[in-house]
Structure 1
Amino acid sequence: MLKTRIITAIVLLGLFLPALFCLPLMGWAAVMLALTLVCLREWAGFLQLSVAQTRVFLVVSAVTGVGLLYLLHQFGFHWFFYRALQVFAAASVFWLLVVPVALFFNDFFKHKALNLLLGWGLMMSLWMALVTAKEVNPYVLLVIISTIWLADSAAYFAGKQFGRHKLAPAISPGKTWEGVAGALLAVAAYAAGLKITGAVATWWVLPGLWVVTIAGIYGDLFESFFKRRANLKDSGQFLPGHGGLLDRVDGVIPALPIGMCLLFWFHYWQQSYSF
C-alpha cells in the first residue's frame, strides 16, 4: 500500500507541475474543471444520490463550468477575476464563521438538496480559485497547496508522537491538538524559509499561511463529517493507494479561496497605504 501511495504521489506531481507552468489558461481551466467534476461525483456519493440523480448533477455542473469557461474566453481574465473574488469572499465567510460553529455542534444541514447545493458551491469556488491563482502567479498556487500538504504531514507525525488531546473525537478520532500545534510549527518554519530565501517579500506570509493552515484543518474535518455521516472510509477510489480525490484536496477547498482573498487584501492594502 505504501509503495502504491508513493508511486501515485510521484505521478501526480509529475503531471501537476508541467500542467501548472506550461498549460495556457484555458487549457488549465478545462483540466481543473474535469477534476472538479470528479470531486463533485464523490460529493454526490456522500449524499447517497442515485445513479440518475448523480448524472443530472454532473451534467448541470459540467454545463455551468463550460459556460464559465466561455465567459472567461469572451470577457477575459480580469472580468473573471473580480467575479471570482465575490465567490471567494462568500466562501471565506462560510469556512471561517459558519464551519467552526457547525463543527462545534457536530451538525450540518440534513436536507439532501441543501447539502448538494453547498458542495456544488464549494467545489466551484475551488475551481475558480485554481484558475485565478494560476493566472495571478503559479507560485502562489504552489505555496498554498504545499502549505496544506506540509501541514497535513506535520500534523500526522506530531499527532502520532505526542497526541494526547483529541481535536474532534466525534468527527475524526485520530486528530489531536498536538497535531495542530505540529502543523502550525512546520508552517512557521516554511514561512520563515520563504522569507529568508527571498521567495516572499514580507513576514506577513506567516500569519497568512497560518490562516490557510487553520482553514485546511476545517476542510479536513468538514469532509470527515460527511464521510462519517455516509459511513464511508474514503471518498472514492480515484487515486490508487490514496482513496478519492476529495480525500487529497479537502484542505485545499477552503485554503485556496481564502488564500486568494488574503492575497488581494494585502495587495490592496499595500497600494492604498504605501508612502
Structure 2
Amino acid sequence: MFKARVLTSLLLVPVFVLTLFMLPYQYWAALMLGIASIAAYEWGGMTGMGKLARHVYWLLTLVTGLLLVFAADWHLVDVNWLVQMQQWMTFWGILVGSLFWLLIAPAWLATRHHFRHPLFMALIGWLVLLPMWLAMLSLHTVSPWLVFGLLLTVWIADSAAYFVGKRFGKRKLAPRISPGKTWEGVLGAWLAVTIYASLLCYLVPFDWWLVPMLWGVTVLSIIGDLLESLIKRQAELKDSGGLLPGHGGVLDRIDGLTSSLPLAALFIYFPLYMSVLDTYV
C-alpha cells in the first residue's frame, strides 16, 4: 500500500505541476473542473446517491463550470456581463465556502450528525467542491506560484502529520471520526509548515502575515480531512473511490484543499472582494 502510494505521488505530482505552469489558464481551469467533477461523483457515492443520480450530479457540476469558463470564447453571452457574473460568483462562492468551513464544519464534526437526505448532501457537496475550484482559479490569476505554494503547504502538512503521527502518535485527535490521526501528528504538521513558511519569508521575502496565514491553512486542511473521514465512516467506506492506487479516490487527495483554499483566497483577495460587494449589494 505504501509503495503504491509513493509511486502514484511520483507520477501525479510532476504532471500536476507541469499543467499548472504550462497550460493556458482556461484549459487548466477546465482540467481542475474535471477533477472537481470526479470528486463530485465520489461524493455522491459516499452520501447515498444511486448510480444514475451520481452521473447526473457530476455532469451538472461539469457543465455549469464549463459554461462559466468557455462561454465568452463561444460567444454565448456578452463578455462584459460574463466577467461581472464571474466576479459575483467567485466572491459569494468563496465567501460562503469559507463560512461553511469556519462555522458549520467544526459544529458538524463536534456533533457527528449523520445527514441522510441525498438532495441536502448534494448541495453540501457543491458547497465543498465548487468554492475550492473558484479559489484555485482566483489564485491562479494572481500567479501559478501562489497556487503551488498553497498546495505545497497542504501537502507538507499532510505528509508531516502522517509520518510524525505514525512514529510518535499516542494521543488521538478524533478517535470516533479518524482513529489514525493524533495530536502529535498535528504538532508535526504545524512545525513543518512553520519551517516552510519561515523559509519562504527569508527567500522571497513575504510579509510577516504569511506564517499565521499558513497556520490557518494547516488547521483548515485538517478540518477538511476530518469531515471527509466522518462522511466515509458514516457510509462505512474506507476510501472515497479507487481511482488512485495507494491513495483511494480523488476526494481523498483533495479533502484538505476543499477547506483551506477558499479562506486563503478570501484573505489574499479581500480588497478586491470588498469592491465587488459594494457593486452588487
Per the normalisation by structure 1, the TM-score is 0.91
Q: Structure 1 residue 252 and structure 2 residue 261: aligned?
A: no
Deviation, 1:77, is: 6.0
Q: What do the CA deviations read for 1:110-153 (whole angstroms, capped 9, x no partner)?
A: 32211111102221111112222222111111111111111111
Q: Structure 1 residue 51 and structure 2 residue 57: aligned?
A: no
Q: Any conservation in 2 of the 1:33–1:65 contact (CA below 8 Å)?
A: yes
Other-structure match for 2:121: 115
Other-structure match for 2:2: 2
Q: Which ranges of structure 1 fall in alignment gaps of 5 or more residues?
A: 270-275
Other-structure match for 1:205: 210
Other-structure match for 2:144: 138
Q: What secondary structure does 1:86 align onto?
A: helix
Q: Structure 1's 29 and 143: CA in aligned 2 closer, same or farther, altered over 3 A?
A: same
Deviation, 1:108, is: 4.8
Other-structure match for 1:273: none
Deviation, 1:82, is: 4.9
Q: Structure 1 residue 237 and structure 2 residue 242: aligned?
A: yes
Looking at structure 2, the residues matched to 38 and 80 of structure 1 have their Cα atoms a distance apart, in angstroms, of 22
Q: Any conservation in 2 of the 1:72–1:80 contact (CA below 8 Å)?
A: no
Query: Runs in 1 of length 4+ with deviation above 6 angstroms?
Result: 266-269
Q: Any conservation in 2 of the 1:159–1:175 contact (CA below 8 Å)?
A: yes
How is 1:173-192 mapped onto 2 (pairs within 5 angstroms)? 173-192=179-198
Q: What secondary structure does 1:167 align onto?
A: strand
Instruction: Point out the more displaced range, 255-264 or 55-64.
Output: 55-64
Instruction: Point out the more displaced range, 139-148 or 69-78.
Output: 69-78
Q: What do the CA deviations read for 1:15-36 (whole angstroms, capped 9, x no partner)?
A: 1111111111111111111111
Deviation, 1:235, is: 0.8
What letter corresponds to residue 102 of structure 1 in structure 2? Answer: W
The alignment of Structure 1 onto Structure 2 pairs a total of residues equal to 268
Task: Please tell me the root mean square deviation across aligned C-alpha atoms, in Å.
Answer: 2.0
Indicate the percent of aligned positions where both proteins have the same amino acid: 41
Deviation, 1:2, is: 3.0
What letter corresponds to residue 54 of structure 1 in structure 2? Answer: R
Q: Any conservation in 2 of the 1:122–1:253 contact (CA below 8 Å)?
A: yes
